[in-house]
A and B are shown apart, each in its own frame.
Chain A
């Protein structure tokens, strides 16, 4: 079962309908926990983890990065979406930088393919040491990867739904 982590400021919030529910609907059977409830044990019992995005004006997740130290040792597949990607980058020393993108835009993947994606962020991240940059927009890095850890700044649950499922199954 995939562990879906809600990074919204409040547990069981109205915002989770927008940022967590669509991911759960794509993955099917999954277990949703708020970021304040994630434990290493829950991660190890799961088949993989998704760290979801949050609202544009919600920056609370940046105060909870210490809760994600388990990312350094886990071998599970982890997909970080937007705020979730920023958290993974931050845990591995990649700085968070102000960079706003809102709406549909094109990213360029490392293999030369371009893709339309949906973006919704006031912050982006620098590539942490040991990660490989996979995709960029004109403004910033959009996807980085290190082994089983994948960070995407855009929201694949909106326009790139297959990517979410494909990452785990």
Chain B
């Protein structure tokens, strides 16, 4: 079955892509470029690098702009998926949804209207087990956004390691955060994985941080 993957370049959509490729034929990636940094639906930090990510993985990218206004972004998502259906004859969509019924049901609804199958291979996964699987599968994941207490600026640009996973697990116990960022606490970007033909190399970056919210902006990146 020909599938398109809703792709942000973050850990969940990239792991979902890997799982989809193990079972089906992935023919394109689909990215929504949101202008709204507080989008309900889409990952935003460094989304401008989706094109470079797609090149690194070797798949065509359907990139679609969205204002990020709450219900308009669903119409934009529908348009992007429709475009991928017309351009690549996809029969289904893959998402990295873990636990958000809000996100998952909206994408399910759009796919159902377009008579497309919708696959969510990480659905209901334990978040720590997802982080550990990423490490086992040799993903290089960097934290590019923090949006909740108690994440300090030192978390920005940190690479996911077994120690970082342990720290996230401890924060889960102490502060009830979602350790994989399912509640929007953290955002990530994958620099390398078994899917990447070439890794992403950051040439220039800066951090912006205030009151437990910050972004690691990748201003310049190339393929290694």
Chain A residues near B (Cβ < 8 Å): 12-15, 17-18, 21-22, 25, 55-58, 100, 102-104, 118, 120, 122, 157-159
Contact = CB atoms under 8 A, between A and B. Distances in A.
B205 interface: no
Given A17-B123, A122-B112, A56 B101 contact: no
B101 A102 contact: no
Given A14-B20, A56-B111, A58-B117, 19 more contacts: A14-B19, A17-B19, A18-B123, A22-B123, A22-B124, A55-B117, A56-B108, A56-B112, A57-B112, A57-B116, A57-B117, A103-B106, A104-B105, A118-B101, A118-B105, A120-B105, A120-B108, A122-B112, A157-B124
A18 B112 contact: no
A103 B101 contact: yes
Contacts of B24: 14
B101 A104 contact: yes
Contacts of B115: 57
B120 interface: yes
A101 to B, nearest CB: 10
B119 A18 contact: yes
B109 interface: yes
> What secondary structure prevails in chain B residues at the interface with A?
mixed
B82 to A, nearest CB: 16
- For A15, A22, A104, A118, the residue with the greatest tally of chain B CB atoms inside 10 Å of its CB is A15
B74 to A, nearest CB: 13
A55 B118 contact: yes
Interface in B1-45: 19-20, 23-24
Interface string B110-138: 01100111111111101000000000000
B23 A102 contact: no
Contacts of B109: 102-103
B9 to A, nearest CB: 21
A58 B115 CA distance: 10
A57 B94 CA distance: 14
A158 B101 contact: yes
Contacts of B92: 57
A67 B73 CA distance: 44
A105 to B, nearest CB: 10
Contacts of A102: 105, 108-109, 112
